[in-house]
Structure 1
Amino acid sequence: MGVLSNLKPTESELEILQILWEKGDCTVRDVHEILGKNKDAGYTTTLKLMQIMHEKGLVTRDTSSKTHIYKALINQQKTEQQLVTKMIDNVFNGSAARLVMQALGNHTASKEEIDSIKKYLDELGNK
């Protein structure tokens, strides 16, 4: 199952990866400030998490300057695919349809998102 099967990022590590995927290279302070908008986490906690992520091979760290710069080492799309596949297998007994119905039933999707999903399903049907 690729890199992720060995690494298994925790929920907190995934939050940091999301920031690195969206913002690109970041310092611990950059990540900490973004995390702080949604949850109360101490700077040292963020630093420790990112050091552990570096040891696990989830991120790389540029130490050439005084302020270390972190970058995600794992690919967002592949990570998302592997996590969804694992969830479908473990939670939905292998049924992608049940996952989709549960997701759409619990969240209000915008008209644009629904249209995008319909287009995607049409493309899948034409393969």
Structure 2
Amino acid sequence: MARDNSAVKPTEAELTLLNVLWQIGPATVRQIHEAVSINQKTGYTTVLKILQIMHEKALVIRDESNRAHVYAAANSEVHTQSSLIKDLISKAFGGSTSKLVMRAIDDSTSAKEIDDIRQLLNSLEK
């Protein structure tokens, strides 16, 4: 079962590794490093160190039963995103979700995205 580590906010580097884990599932350091290296130059030992720190912070869990440790995200992507958004709303928007939404929706929002938002709002009203 995932620990409640909502108070722990992942850094940008940690979020990069979490996104890999959410995409590919539990993985070894080598697999995570290979996935990260597609988009950015990062050393293997850097990935390992970040994962070790993340394990200490309970952001990832580690299976040590094999020679190559396997890491997995401790919480789901949705859980982590919700925690980060709640923190952002509290700190940057005075607790106002509507201020966040109004700032997020601007001229760069596509018609498709607006339609998706409209459908979501309609489903929430039901």
Q: Which TM-score band applies after superposition, normalised by the shorter structure?
A: 0.7 to 0.9
Q: CA offset at residue 110 of structure 1?
A: 5.8
Distance change in 2, residues 1:29/1:110 (3 Å): farther
Distance change in 2, residues 1:100/1:11 (3 Å): same
- 1:94-122 alpha-carbon deviations (Å, 9 max, x no partner): 222221222232744461x3322111111
Gaps of 5+ in 2: none
Number of the residue aligned with 2:67: 66
The whole-number CA distance in structure 1 between the counterparts of 2:39 and 2:99 is 30
Instruction: Give SS of 1:70's match.
Output: strand
The whole-number CA distance in structure 2 between the counterparts of 1:106 and 1:83 is 24
Q: Does 1:3 align with 2:8?
A: no
The whole-number CA distance in structure 2 between the counterparts of 1:110 and 1:68 is 45
TM-score, with structure 2 as normaliser: 0.85
TM-score, with structure 1 as normaliser: 0.84
CA contact (8 A) 2:5 2:59 kept: no
Instruction: Give SS of 1:60's match.
Output: strand
Q: CA offset at residue 72 of structure 1?
A: 1.0
2:122 partner letter: D
The worse-fitting range, judged by mean Cα deviation, of 97-106 and 51-60 is: 97-106
**Cα-Cα RMSD:** 1.8
Number of the residue aligned with 1:104: 105
Task: Show the 5 A alignment for 1:44-123.
Answer: 44-105=45-106, 107-109=108-110, 111=112, 113-123=113-123
The whole-number CA distance in structure 2 between the counterparts of 1:82 and 1:106 is 27
2:5 partner letter: V
Q: When you count helix as a share of all residues, which structure comes out higher?
A: 1
Instruction: Give SS of 1:61's match.
Output: strand
